[in-house]
């Protein structure tokens, strides 16, 4: 692990995988000192993605955390990148799409390669800034109240704009996939605008790594069966895949 970012991604992936990490084990695996690992853990705790314990670290005490975008991007990075690339392959010639915000959606935006002319309606300021420089892509940035952690625009003004549009697809992420409770995210405002985006699109596409299965965020977006496509990774259990497909959702494993 040659860089700080790679080291911290490894730490977070191990927490997701095992439920905890030990300072001594991490130092040995990564070939660095325990002091270096403690500094990494202190930083990651300050970002809300883990909780320090004596000689170790565990997931945050809250069931789901409303994290900032840069911190979320570090979690399960490789899986998210594959999911994003698979989602980008669904874009058709001269397509018009709605994109939400979040770490996986940001990676999706980075993977976009327009075929013909691509129209993108975005609630994410950072995604709009990135796509605005790409030839062949026209970006409509939705206006409203800027939410700092995700750099997304929310609120009544944003919702009103989206109500007057219609696109072939919407791409959004989630913080939790509970087969009985539904799809969830971190805030009520985010859930509300995601629902508006779903209503303004023909095909509803969710990008989510398998670690979100069995989790619940603060706010409920919809039933699992209300979406058309779920793009995830191979870590999703077979029984869960079958139940999702039985709900009429097309499951794509990246």
What is the reported pLDDT for 61? Answer: 52
Distance of alpha carbon 205 from alpha carbon 208, whole angstroms: 10
List, for residues 3-29, the tens digit of each pLDDT value. Answer: 888 888 888 888 777 777 889 989 999
Which 3 state secondary structure label does DSSP give 233? Answer: coil
CA atoms within 13 A on the CB side of 50: 29
List alpha helices for 2-155, DSSP H: 4-18, 23-30, 34-46, 69-74, 77-88, 103-111, 125-131
> Distance (Å, rounded) from C-alpha 203 to C-alpha 92?
13
For residue range 195-236, list pLDDT tens digits in order: 999 999 999 999 999 988 988 877 899 999 999 999 999 989
> Residue 159's pLDDT band (boundaries 50, 70, 90)?
very high
194 phi/psi in degrees, rounded to 5: -65, -40
Contact 35, 24 (CB under 8 A): no
Q: Which residues of 50-60 are buried (b: 16+ CB within 10 A; e: fewer)?
A: bbeeeebbeeb
Which of 215, 203, 191, 221 is closest to 167 using CA atoms? 203
Is the pLDDT at 93 greater than 70? The verdict is: yes
Of 185, 17, 172, which is closest to residue 87 (Cα–Cα)? 172
pTM as predicted: 0.74
pLDDT at 64: 39
């Amino acid at each position: 692990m040659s860089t700080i970012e790679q080291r911290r991604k490894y730490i977070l992936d191990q927490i997701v995988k095992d439920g905890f990490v030990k300072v001594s084990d991490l130092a040995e695996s990564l070939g660095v000192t325990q002091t270096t690992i403690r500094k990494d853990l202190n930083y990651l705790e300050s970002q809300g993605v883990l909780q320090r314990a004596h000689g170790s670290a565990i997931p945050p005490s809250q069931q789901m955390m409303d994290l900032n975008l840069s911190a979320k991007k570090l979690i399960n990075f490789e899986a998210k990148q594959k999911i994003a690339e698979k989602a980008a392959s669904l874009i058709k010639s001269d397509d018009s799409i709605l994109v939400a915000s979040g770490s996986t959606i940001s990676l999706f935006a980075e993977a976009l390669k327009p075929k013909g002319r691509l129209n993108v309606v975005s609630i994410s300021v950072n995604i709009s800034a990135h796509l605005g420089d790409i030839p062949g892509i026209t970006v409509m940035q939705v206006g409203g109240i800027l939410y700092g952690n995700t750099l997304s625009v929310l609120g009544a003004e944003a919702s009103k704009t989206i109500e007057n549009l219609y696109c072939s697809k919407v791409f959004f992420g989630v913080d939790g996939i509970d087969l009985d409770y539904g799809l969830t995210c971190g805030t009520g405002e985010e859930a509300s605008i995601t629902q508006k985006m779903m209503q303004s699109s023909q095909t509803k596409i969710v990008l989510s790594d398998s670690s979100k299965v069995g989790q619940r965020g603060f706010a409920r977006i919809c039933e699992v069966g209300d979406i058309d496509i779920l793009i995830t990774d191979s870590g999703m259990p077979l029984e869960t895949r079958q139940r999702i497909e039985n709900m009429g959702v097309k499951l794509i494993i990246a």
